[in-house]
């Protein structure tokens, strides 16, 4: 269909995608730098919206939080993360209002995005008040990835990118492997977040799984006790070695399974006659290869912060790439059904059909 979305709105969604990615990277860097409790309160820091630095503010902070030593570097990391997150929240609020005003798309998606942002703010608060409880930290990570994915879908809708997929035929097996890939990537991100939030990233230092008789130490009941109640502070982890090792091993095995499933999707996409699907295959395959390399680098180099942060970044990009692949493959089928049922205007349907042969031959259209 003809895209009548204001260009400035699409640009604002692009900005929100960049901001979300920045917040994800800053969050990962803050977490990996052990700065998650750099500020003992929320949303400010020691009772102020900036990190205390002069003598009077330091004295006030000491009175408010007598048992907390002020580490300016960690506090600034945490506050910079919050500044960017707050800016992102304002941008998304504007996007939601704009989308509801122009009524180009259903308000459900923008409202869902706004809800995720609000819930993310609550999770950010609980991360501090519950002292880095692993379940909350992991949920905060997944919330950021969810927000990034939903914004990517919104961008696809606004740009009408789903029209680039061959409307008359998409191999059902491609859709199957796209769904399978999305499911296993989400599971693997959960395992990665659980590994990080439980400080289990360095529990195994050998490849491909773990060193020694690791199977003898597996303890799944404690490893995946989501609540881990009875602790006042979860910084640096509360689980014993067997449980942490089990989490790490699960993430390693998940990585192997994820690689296999996503590789099948890449192969299936590469076999399709449509250039857009071929392009998706290249993007997913490249991100998968990069992510596996970074994962191996984390093990071999003992988790340097730069590689660990990149591992989080590429995980977000891989997820969004798989999400948009699913959206383009499945949303296309819905659009073809609308044409069949005469829901789409005849002029749009004619344009849609005329492009079929062109797309099969790899002809591109400017948006």
Active-site residues, by number, are: 78
What does the DSSP 8-state code read for residue 163? Answer: G
Classified as helix, coil or strand, 188 is helix
161: DSSP letter: G
User: Do 311 and 148 form a contact (C-beta atoms < 8 A)?
Assistant: no
What distance in Å separates the CA atoms of residue 348 and residue 104, rounded to the nearest whole number? 16
Q: Residues near 98 by Cβ (< 8 Å), separated by ≥ 6?
A: 6, 9, 12
Cis amide leading into 258 (omega within 30): no
What is the distance between the terminal CA atoms of the chain, rounded to a whole angstrom? Answer: 11
Catalogue the long-range contacts made by 45-48 (C-beta closer than 8 Å, 24 or more residues apart).
45/75, 45/78, 45/79, 46/70, 46/75
Q: Which residue has the tokens 């009772």?
A: 47
What is the rounded CA–CA span in Å between residue 299 and residue 208? Answer: 10
- Cα atoms found within 13 Å of the Cα of residue 365, Cβ hemisphere only: 20
Residue 45 β-bridge partners:
48
Q: How far apart are CA 216 and CA 202, in angstroms?
A: 18
């Amino acid at each position: 269909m003809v895209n009548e979305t204001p260009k400035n709105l699409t640009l604002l969604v692009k900005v929100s995608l960049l901001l979300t990615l920045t917040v994800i990277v800053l969050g990962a860097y803050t977490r990996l730098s052990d700065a998650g409790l750099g500020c003992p309160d929320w949303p400010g820091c020691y009772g102020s919206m900036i990190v205390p630095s002069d003598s009077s503010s330091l004295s006030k902070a000491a009175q408010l939080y007598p048992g907390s030593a002020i580490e300016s570097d960690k506090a600034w990391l945490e506050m910079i993360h919050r500044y960017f997150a707050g800016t992102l929240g304002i941008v998304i609020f504007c996007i939601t209002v704009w989308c509801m005003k122009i009524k180009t798309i259903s308000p459900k998606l923008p409202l869902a995005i706004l809800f995720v942002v609000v819930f993310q703010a609550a999770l950010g608060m609980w991360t501090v008040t519950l002292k880095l409880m692993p379940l909350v930290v992991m949920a905060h990570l997944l919330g950021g990835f969810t927000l990034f994915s939903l914004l990517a879908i919104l961008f696809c809708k606004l740009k009408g990118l789903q029209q680039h997929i061959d409307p008359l035929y998409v191999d059902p097996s491609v859709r199957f492997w796209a769904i399978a890939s999305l499911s296993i990537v989400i599971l693997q991100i959960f395992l990665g977040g659980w590994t990080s939030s439980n400080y289990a990233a360095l529990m195994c230092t050998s490849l491909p799984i773990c060193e020694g008789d690791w199977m003898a130490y597996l303890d799944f009941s404690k490893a995946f006790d989501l609540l881990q109640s009875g602790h006042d502070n979860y910084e640096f982890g509360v689980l014993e070695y067997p449980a942490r090792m089990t989490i790490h091993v699960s993430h390693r095995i998940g990585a192997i399974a994820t690689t296999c499933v996503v590789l099948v999707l890449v192969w299936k996409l590469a076999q399709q006659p449509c250039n857009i699907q071929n392009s998706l295959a290249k993007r997913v395959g490249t991100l998968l290869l990069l992510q596996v390399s970074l994962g191996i680098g984390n093990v071999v180099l003992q988790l340097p912060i730069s590689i660990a942060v990149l591992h989080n970044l590429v995980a977000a990009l891989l997820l969004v790439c798989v999400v948009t692949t699913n959206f383009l493959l499945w949303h296309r089928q819905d659009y073809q059904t609308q044409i069949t049922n005469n829901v789409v205007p005849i002029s749009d349907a004619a344009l849609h059909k005329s492009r079929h042969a062109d797309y099969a031959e790899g002809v591109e259209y400017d948006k």
